[in-house]
Structure 1
Amino acid sequence: MRAALAAGLALTLATQAVAGVPEGYHRVAQAEGVPADVLYALAAAESGARLSTGAARPWPWTLNVGGRPERYRTYREALDALERHLAAGKRNIDIGLMQVNWRWHEARLQDPARALDPYRNLRIGAAILREQYERSGHWLEASGLYHAPSNTTNAARHRARVQHHLEALP
């Protein structure tokens, strides 16, 4: 049942009309005290997959292993791949919609199945974004720090990607 709900959410989150930010992002953003548009733009910058229309949408079954992106069609495929990578001793893995890094946030993610749960992944990502906002005092700057908290060059580059996705919102 949980897998079916997660799959339904993933479809909703991944195929939401261009008209705006999907409802799931609004709910998580409100609960975590972050702006929904920034959360959605950050997810698009982190896990965005190009649709046939050319638009980028966050994709929940995305992994990034040592800098190499991997996208899967289903939760099960992504989970199997994540478990294989972890069994092989890999730890520098970004996971899910918000590309939460296993090495730095294993305690928050808890286990591979939970790490790939779209709502849980969004909540963890929103909490990290909120922490970076508390550090910087500015949401867009926080979005750059989310990806690279100790590297100002990478943070600026990532902030620009998030800004691009924000500007693309209707």
Structure 2
Amino acid sequence: MATTMNPRRKFRPRVQCRVWAPLARLRQCVCGYLVGVGSGYLVVMKVIASDAPPPAYQLAAHGTGVPSQVLYALALQESGTLLRGERIPWPWTLNVAGKAYRYADRAAACSALLQAIQDVGAKRVDAGLGQVNLGWNGHHFAQPCDALDPYRNLKVVTALLFEHKSPGIDWVTAAGRYHRPAGGVPAARFRQAFSRHLNRITRTHFKD
């Protein structure tokens, strides 16, 4: 959910794990995630084994009216990165002033998140698996860094996504509205990318 405003100051991340980092560095990122989250292991590692939504996504979507496949496809597009040729959602992803940063652990991401809010303002910062914008939706978290908790992030993302799903609107359109409520070209591009992920996961289309 990137924004388009101009930053007041340049954000300077201290520690990060970028999409284009060497494989060894990405492996360190995964290890940090397993240690830092514990049971959250399934959020990352299950993705590598199958295109089916990992248990964390199924749990977050259960009883909400949002299919777990839709939630997973959205996370793949919002925070996805490549690991050993597989695309996985990365929980410690930030988007600051339109630029993505990925960190090895929650502590590093939290430090960068707080600095980014100070530097460019909360409305120019998206965080976590679903890239929740902290200016518009930060009130869903007790504190900004809570957006970096995979389960809390998915809970908020599911609620927001459901808000954009109205009668006669399919999940692809709802996902585009989630990413860019104002619509336009950014929303259209997101819908296309989201559809590719969803079709690969489900081999079908959600219309209801």
Same fold, TM exceeding 0.5? Answer: yes
Return 68-77 or 108-117, whichever deviates more. Answer: 108-117
Q: Which residue of 2 aligns with 1:15?
A: 45
Structure whose residues are more often helix by fraction? 1
The 3 A distance-change label for structure 1 pair 116 and 159 is same
Q: How far is 1:151 from its partner?
A: 1.9
CA distance in 2: counterparts of 1:62 and 1:160, whole angstroms: 21
Q: Is the contact made by 1:32 and 1:123 (CA closer than 8 Å) also made in structure 2?
A: no
Q: Which residue of 1 aligns with 2:198?
A: 166
Q: How far is 1:6 from its partner?
A: 6.1
Q: 1:86 aligns with which of 99, 117, 130?
A: 117
Count of residues in correspondence between the two structures: 167
Scaled by the length of structure 2, what TM-score is found?
Answer: 0.74
The yes-or-no answer on 1:154 pairing with 2:160 is no
Identity of counterpart residues, as a percentage? 38
The yes-or-no answer on 1:69 pairing with 2:100 is yes
Scaled by the length of structure 1, what TM-score is found?
Answer: 0.89
Q: Is the contact made by 2:51 and 2:200 (CA closer than 8 Å) also made in structure 1?
A: no
The structure having more radius of gyration, on CA atoms, is 2
1:28-48 CA deviation, whole Å, 9 max, x = no partner? 111322010010000000000
Superposed, 1:39-118 pairs within 5 Å as 39-52=71-84, 54-91=85-122, 92-118=124-150
Q: How far is 1:135 from its partner?
A: 6.9
Query: Over aligned residues, Cα RMSD in angstroms?
Result: 2.1
CA distance in 2: counterparts of 1:71 and 1:4, whole angstroms: 16
Classify the secondary structure of the residue corresponding to 1:88. helix
Letter in 2 for 1:161: A
1:76-134 CA deviation, whole Å, 9 max, x = no partner? 11111111112335221110000000111121133122111111100101111100112
